[in-house]
Amino acid sequence: MRLLSLLLTVSLTLALAYYIYIPLPDAIQQPWKLMILDAYLRTAFHVASLKQWLGFDHHTRSFRQFTFGFEGILKEFLSTESSAGAVPGVKVSDISFAGIPVRVYEPPAGGEGHLRRGLMYFHGGGWALGTTKKGPYDITNRMVSDELNTVVVSVEYRLYPDVHFPVPYLDCLAAAKHFLSPEVLAKYSIDPDRVAVAGDSAGGNLAAAVAQEISVDDSMSVKFSVQALIYPVLQALDFNTPSYLQNQYIPVLYRTSMIQFWLQYLNIDLSLMPEFLVNNHSALQHSSLTPELRSRLDWNVLLTQKYKKNYKPVIVEKGSEGFLKKVPGLLDVRAVPLLAGPEVLAKCPRAYILTCEHDVLRDDGLMYARRLQDAGVAVTSDHYEDGFHGCFSLTSWPLEFDVGKKALRGYLSWLQNNL
């Protein structure tokens, strides 16, 4: 009996280890911690999918609840005075800007007699997950507000499956225009020459798109002075860039997961994923995807050899007939900021772009940095050789990664010196 129990224990342990273990590059530090996080997320996804199959709720809403629950646990760990999340004195208000829910963080220093910095933040999560009110985003925004004497406005834009593009973008744009109005800036004692827009992942997409629109809007008397993009997702026409192929199995953002986020955002049938995996949706036969547009995301030109490595462009002659006409969002700069013309990019604010070597979105950020620089915009590229997607938000125990703390400190330092 004892032998049977021992064999059962060993078998379960091996099965658990097999489920958790995934091969990771040697450069990624604390690999088992990342594997455990990935196993949790995979399990949550499978359970959410099962709930949808049983008819309980949409899998995205269920998965969102799992992540909220996990962030709630983290909040309990971070609720003590000694935790990184406790920032005494920061005033937090949940209000709305132009009808869009926002959370405003006001620094303890106050605004009496002097002007402060302002920053609008759009959270990540594939336009489907995430909230500014819990977990890492709340912690980071409190830190920015306190350390940099900044009024931070974090936007709760609407998410999939309730909405699709362009609703999240329009929510963020409406909130941004309200924030930049002279009346609101004066109310919060914000210097109109020191206002930033920032975001990570899908939030970086929204921040880049909103920054572009504000930059060319002559009706706006105040515009963003800088933009900070954390591993932004910026294009949906080439899912065979070197970083998409190199990192397709690296957590926490797999290549197929990012494609699924795009399909959901643009309201495309998920069964078409195989077409996107092989770039059929951007085949040469599509006349609307002109050579000029293709050049704006030609990684063979925009990336250095260090990042191109030995990868070759995947160019399809004939793909899905009429696809781009059916899904115009694929060519809409509001969804795909990397496609913006040089005349638009030239008007954009100075930029900080953070990229990670082990991230499918690495090349999106690197190409955008190059295109902004070519248009005459000052760009700071902050690349982390040991970084992976999501590390910027993993800075607090028990999900504390050294590279995440470095990335967060780099972001704060750049804002301190440039905003």
What are the catalytic residues? 201, 359, 389
Q: Strand 150-155 and strand 116-122: pairing?
A: parallel
244, 272 contact by CB (below 8 A): no
Q: Strand 100-106 and strand 91-97: pairing?
A: antiparallel
Q: Token pair 């040469």 is at which residue?
A: 284
